[in-house]
Structure 1
Amino acid sequence: MRRVRAASVLFGGYQHPTQMIAVGFGLAILVGTLLLSLPAATAQGQTTTWLTALWTATASVSLTGLIIVDTPTHWSVFGELIIIGLVQIGGLGIMTLATVFTVLVSGRLGLRARLFAQAETKTPTMADMRKVVRKVVLFSLVCEAVAAVVFTGRFMIGYGESFGRALYLGVFHGISAFNNSGFTLWSDNIMGYVGDPWICLTISAAVIVGGLGFPVVFELLRSWRHPGRWSVLTRITVYATLILLVLGTLVYLATEWHNPGTLGRLDEPTRVLAAFFLSAVVRTAGFNSVDTGALHPSSWLVSDVMMFIGGGSAGTAGGIKVTTLGLLVFVIWSELRGEPRVNVGHRQVPDTAQRQAVVVTMMSAALVAFCTYVLLVLTPYTLDRVLFEVIAAFSTAGLTTGITNDIPPAGQLLLIVLMFVGRIGPLTIGSALALKERARRYELPEERMIVG
C-alpha cells in the first residue's frame, strides 16, 4: 500500500490522464536512453553517443523503427533486448502496464487509475477497466506468440537455423510485427525474404491486427459474423482498412511493376506479394521487403498519404488514424448533401467527434508542414525525400528514402520530437498541456461568415 500511496503522491499533481501518458512515455524513453548508452548494450563494448541512444529509445517506444545505426552490428544481444522491451512497453502502453502493476499490488483500481487506463486504451466507458486491461495484455501476448511460433518454425525448417537462434528471431520479430515497430535483426530489414510468403504474410497479418485497435478487435471477436451490429468505430476502421489495402496494392503494382529497383526485378507472383506487403506496412510499420529509397516519386507521394492516415485508434498504429479520415469523409458528404447532421449507418455522430477529427488533422498537417520546412533549410535534399522522412517519423511508420543517417543533429532532434508526438497523438499533447478545462458561462451572438 505504501508503494501505491507513493505513486499517487508522485503523480497527484497531474490533473488530466493524458498528462500522465505523456510523462510515462517520456520516462520510458529516458530510461531506455540511459540503458542503451551503457557499453554492454553495444556489440563492440563501447559507449553509444547520447543522440544515437536517444534516437533509438524514442524510435523503440514510439514504435517507429527508424534507425541511424545498424541494429544487428551495432547493438549486442543485451541492447537488442532493451530495444524489443521498449517496443513492448510502447505497444501495450505505459498506462496499461501501470494499471496492471496497480492491480497486482493493491488488488483493486481507484478512480484515478481507471481514468488513466481508459485514456490509454481509449475505451468508451469506464466499466471494469481491470477486465479491459487484462484482455488487452492477453490478446497482445497471444498474437505475438502466434507470430513467434510461425517465424520460429519457418527459420528452422526453411533456413536451417538452430532452435535457439530461430526462437530468438521468432520472438523478436513477433513482438516487433504486432506492435508495428519495424525493428529487425537484419541489415536490409526483410528484403532477403521478399519472396517468402510465410514471413511476409505473417508480418502483414500481425501489423494489420495490431493496427486495427483494441476496441475494434474485441468487437470483431464478439460479432464478426454480424456486420450489421458493428459500431460506427468498427465499421469505419474495417472498411477503410480494406479499401486502403486494396488501393495501395493496386497503385504500387501499377507504378512499380517495371521499376528494376523495386518490383521489376522480381517474378510476377513475388511482385504481387511485395506490393501487398508494402501496402500493409506502409501506413504504420517500418518493415520493407523492397528498397523504399528506389521507389518512384509518385509512389513516395502515395506512401506519404498512406502514412499520414495511419491505422486504427487505440492500437499500435500511428498517423491521424483511419477513423479520423473516415469521419471527415462523412462530414464532407453530409455537407455536400446539405444535411444538418452527420450520420454513419443508423447512427448520428456528435459534434464533438467531428471537431476532434478536424483538430487532429489540422494540427498534424501543420506540424508536418513546419518540420518539413525546417528540414529543407537544414539539409540539401529535395522536397519529396524530406516530406517522406517527416511523415514517416510523425506517423511512426519508420520507412525512409535513405537520408536518415545524413540528417544533421539538429534535424535528428526534430525527428525525435516528431516520433514522440506521433506516438501519443497531437490531441493527447494538446490535452496534456491544458491544465484545466474552461466552461463558458455565456453564449455570444451568432454571425455568419463567408467560406470559400
Structure 2
Amino acid sequence: MAVPLRGPAKVRADIRPKDSRIRRLLLHPVRSVPVAFLAVIMIGAGLLLLPASHYPTDSDVVMPALFTSVSAVCVTGLITVDTATFWTPFGQAVILGMIQVGGFGIMTLATLLALLVRKNLGLRGQLVAQSETHTLNFGDVRSVLVRVAKIMATLEGCTAAVLTLRFWIGYDANPATALWHGIFHAVSAFNNAGFSLYSDNLIGLAEDPWIIVPVCAAVVAGGLGFPVIIALMRDGFRIRDWTVHVRLTVYGTLLLLAAGFVLFAAFEWNRPETLGPLSTGGKFLGALAGSVFPRTAGFNSIDYGAATPETLMVTNILMFIGGGSAGTAGGIKITTFLILGFAIWNEVRGREQVTIAHRSISSSAQRQALSVALLGVAAVIAGTLLLLLFTDYSLEKVLFESISAFATVGVSTGITYHLPVSAQWVLMALMFVGRIGTITVASALALSAHPRLYHLPEERPIIG
C-alpha cells in the first residue's frame, strides 16, 4: 500500500528537481578532473615529441614521450628511458613543467573538491565542518589557490636554494648547472614525482646529507597535504587545536616513517648489495630515504632490484598507504588507512561508534574509506594480473611495479625499462587511475549521497 506524502516528505518531494540540478552542477567538476589531466598529458606528450626535446635516436619516441608525460603529470616518476641522457635540457624543462602543473593541479583540485563536499552539506553540517576543520568556505576559492601557490613556491624555493648551494660548492658544478639541478630536484621532491637528472637517480648521492635530507623534507612536506600545512602554520604545536584530520595525518606520517626506517635498516643494514658498503652515517641516510621515498616520492638511493623480499614487502605497504589527502602524495592516503584501522579496532571491542580524539567518525566516512581502499586493491590486482600476462617477470617484481604505479610512487626493481608496449599501457592506466581515481571517487561518493525517506527490513548475513 502506497504511503501518501505528507508534511516534510511533501516538501522534500517538491524540492527534489532543484536538488538534482544542484547535484549535477556539483558533480560536474569531479567528472572534469580526468578530462583536464588527459588534456595536459596529451599536450606534454606532444611537446616531448618535438625534435628539440630529445637527442637524435633511431628508437621509437612516441611511447617514451607518452609514458613520460603520464608519469610526469601524475607525478609518479616511472620511466622507460633515461631522463638524463634521452631528453635534452628543453625536454627536461617540459617534464619539469608537467610535474609542476600536475602537482599544483592535484593539490588545488583535491582541496577544492573537499570544499565542494562540505558545501553540499546542510546548514548544520556546514557549521560543524567549518568549526571542526577551521578551513575556508567555498567562496574563498581565489584565496585557496593563492595560498597553495605561495606554499609551493616557498617550500620549493627553500629546497632549491639548499640543493643549488650543495651542487655548486660540493660538486664543483658551474652556477647555471647547479641552479638547474637544484630547481629540478626541489620541484620533483615537493611534488613527490621522483624524476632525477642522474642516470642512477640519487644512488650516487646516497651518503650526502645536504642532498638527501632536504629532498626528504620536501617529500614529507608535499605529502602532508595542503589542509594540514595550513593548519600547522596556524596552530603550530598546539595539539589541542588540531582537527581529527590533522592528527591522523601527522601522527600517521610519523608512525609510518619510524616503522619504515627501523624495518628498512634491519633488513638492509649489512647487505653488500644495498646499505652494507656505506658508512654508518650513510646507512642512516639510506634507511631514512628508504622510509620517506616510498611515501610516494619515487626517488631511490639504493638498487631496489637487489633488495630483500622483506624490504620489498615493507615498501609495498608504505607505497599503497601513501601520504596525506589533498597533497602531492599518492596511495589510498593515511586517513583512509587509519579510519579503517580504528573501525576494525572498535568492531573487535564491540563498540558501535568509531571515535578518534573525542570525535565520532560518521558511517558515511567509514564507507568511503572502505570503498577507496577496496577500489585500490582491485586496481592493483587487475594491473598485476595483466602484467603477469604480458611479461615473464616474477609475481614479486610485477606486484611491486603495479603498486608503485597505482600509488604514483615511481620506484622500480629495474624492469620498467624492459617492459613491452602492452605492459606500459597497463602502468599508464594504473598511474592515471591511482592519481585521480581515489580523489574523484571519494568526492563523488560524498556528493552523490541521496538520503532515503524510508528504511527497508534488515537482515543479517553470516560474516566471517
Alpha-carbon offset, residue 249 of structure 1: 0.7
Residue type of the partner of 1:87? I
Identify which of 170, 174, 199 aligns with 1:162: 174
Distance in 1 (alpha carbons) for counterparts of 2:454 and 2:62: 52
One of 338, 341, 352 as aligned partner of 1:326: 338
Per-residue deviation at 1:49?
Answer: 2.5
Sort the Cα spacing of 1:49 and 1:429 in 2 relative to 1 into closer, same or farther, 3 A: farther
Partner of 1:426: 438
Map 1:11-410 onto structure 2 (within 5 A): 15-44=27-56, 49-93=61-105, 96=108, 115=116, 125-410=137-422
| AA partner of residue 179 (structure 2) | L
Could you tell me how far 1:408 is from its partner in structure 2? 1.3
Shift of 1:94: 6.3
What per-residue deviation string (whole Å, max 9, x for no partner) do you get for residues 268-314 of structure 1?
22111111111011120110111111100111011001100000000
> Cα RMSD over matched residues?
2.7
Deviates more, 1:56-65 or 1:345-354: 345-354
1:376-432, Cα deviation, whole Å (9 max, x unpaired):
121111111000000000001100001112211111101001001111133515866
Q: Is the 8 A contact 2:107 2:225 kept in 1?
A: no
Over 3 Å counting, the alpha-carbon distance change for 1:116 and 1:38 in structure 2 is farther
Q: Structure 1, residues 160-212: CA drift from partner, whole Å, max 9, x if none?
A: 11111111111111111100100010100011111000100000000000000
Aligned counterparts of 2:198 and 2:34: Cα–Cα separation in 1: 32
The 2-side partners of 1:402 and 1:136 are apart by 35
**Counterpart of 1:7?**
none
Whether the 8 Å CA contact 2:185–2:195 is kept in 1: the answer is: yes
| Distance (Å, rounded) in 2 between the aligned partners of 1:240 and 1:96 | 23
Equivalent pair of 2:160/2:186 in contact (CA under 8 Å): yes
The one-letter code sitting in structure 2 at the alignment partner of 1:176 is S
| 1:434-449 pair list within 5 angstroms | 440-449=452-461
Q: Is the 8 A contact 1:42 1:48 kept in 2?
A: no
Distance change in 2, residues 1:206/1:435 (3 Å): closer
Residue 353 of structure 1: SS of its match in structure 2? helix
Alpha carbons of structure 1 residues 401 and 185: separation in structure 2 relative to 1, 3 Å: same
**TM-score normalized with structure 2 length:** 0.87
Cα 1:433–1:247 shift into 2, 3 Å: closer
Aligned-partner Cα distance in 2 for 1:40–1:433: 44
* TM-score normalised by L of structure 1: 0.89
Gaps of 5+ in 2: 1-23, 121-132
The CA distance in 2 between the partners of 1:330 and 1:429, in whole Å, is 22
Structure 1 unmatched ranges of 5 or more: 1-11, 100-110
Aligned residues: 428
Contact 1:14 1:20 in 2 (8 A): no
**In structure 2, do the counterparts of structure 1 residues 340 and 115 end up closer, same or farther at CA, with 3 Å as the change threshold?**
closer
1:349 and 1:432 map into 2 onto residues whose CA distance is 19
CA drift at 1:265: 1.2
- The whole-number CA distance in structure 1 between the counterparts of 2:440 and 2:101 is 18
The amino acid across from 2:279 in the alignment is: D
Whether the 8 Å CA contact 2:96–2:184 is kept in 1: the answer is yes
- Report the more deviating stretch, 442-451 or 320-329: 442-451
Q: Which has the larger radius of gyration?
A: 2
* Shift in CA distance, 305/118, structure 1 to aligned 2, threshold 3 Å: farther
The range that moved more, 309-318 or 22-31, is: 22-31
- Residues in 1 aligned to 2:117 and 2:42: alpha-carbon distance in whole angstroms: 21
- What's the CA shift for 1:89? 0.5
Kept after mapping to 1: 8 A contact 2:77/2:410:
yes
Distance between the aligned counterparts of 2:356 and 2:393, measured in 1? 43
Deviations along 1:190-238, one digit per CA (max 9) or x if unpaired, are 1111100010000000000000000011101111221111000010111
CA contact (8 A) 1:39 1:46 kept: no
Q: Secondary structure at the match of 2:295?
A: coil
**Identity %, equivalent residues:** 47
Gap change, CA 1:436 and 1:325, over 3 Å in 2: closer
Q: Secondary structure at the match of 1:128?
A: helix
Moved over 6 A (4+): 116-119, 430-437
**Contact 1:313/1:321, CA 8 A, preserved across alignment:** yes
Q: Amino acid of the residue matched to residue 148 of structure 2? A: V
In 2, Cα distance between equivalents of 1:165 and 1:34: 26
Residues 95 and 116, structure 1, Cα contact 8 Å, conserved in 2: no
Q: Is the Cα–Cα contact under 8 Å of residues 180 and 285 in structure 1 kept in the other structure?
A: yes
Alignment correspondent of 1:102:
none
Task: Give the C-alpha shift of residue 442 in structure 1.
Answer: 3.5
**Change in CA separation of 1:14 and 1:216 when aligned onto 2, cut-off 3 Å:** closer
